Amino acid sequence: MGAVALTAACGGNSSPGSTQPQGSSSSLTSTAGKPTTTGGPTTSVNGTTPLNVSDDAAKQLCDMLRPQLSDWRVQGPTLGKISLNATVIQWAAQNGLFLPNDRGVVDRVTAKSCSDVRDQAISALEIPNLAAGLVAG
């Protein structure tokens, strides 16, 4: 079920069969054209440069995850992971991030900007890190 959600969310702005967004007019692009205010690691992930996320985008992710924590504790990890994926896909799309190449960005951003939210989410979803709760792209 999660793979379908990722495919549906990522397929809207790229050509059929494409694994990357086409052109700079797409709403799902890399952060090359977006200014960043955080210095992310410069090592490669799967042969690509890790995503850098602005402080505003990091705060936005924290603000999107925080109110869901109590629901995830009640719903349990299965439904919680579906909600996590939907939230992260929405956040990535709103901020022009292409996550399949760097799912770990969610952990880096939340560890720096809202470690308490990250820790509570990991506990509620019973996962070792947030990237582990995301559908592989």
What is the token pair recorded at 117?
Answer: 């939210």
SS (H, E, C) 84-136: HHHHHHHHHHHCCCCHHHCCCHHHHHHHHHCHHHHHHHHHHHCCCCHHHHCCC
Q: pLDDT grade, residue 109 (50/70/90)?
A: very high
Q: What is the mean pLDDT of the chain?
A: 73
Q: Hey, how many other C-beta atoms are within 10 angstroms of the C-beta on 121?
A: 25
**Residue 103 pLDDT:** 85
Query: Could you tell me the two tokens for 32?
Result: 């090359």
pLDDT tier for residue 101 given thresholds of 50, 70 and 90 = confident
Task: Tell which residue, 13, 29, 94, has the closest CA to residue 61.
Answer: 94
pLDDT, tens only, 30-61: 333 333 334 433 333 444 556 678 999 999 99
Lowest model confidence (mean pLDDT) among 87-91, 97-101, 103-107, 118-122: 97-101
Instruction: Report residue 87 as tokens.
Output: 């939230």
Using the predicted structure, report yes or no on whether residue 124 has a pLDDT greater than 80.
yes
Sequence ranges of the domains in the chain? 1-10+54-137
What pTM was computed for the model? 0.64
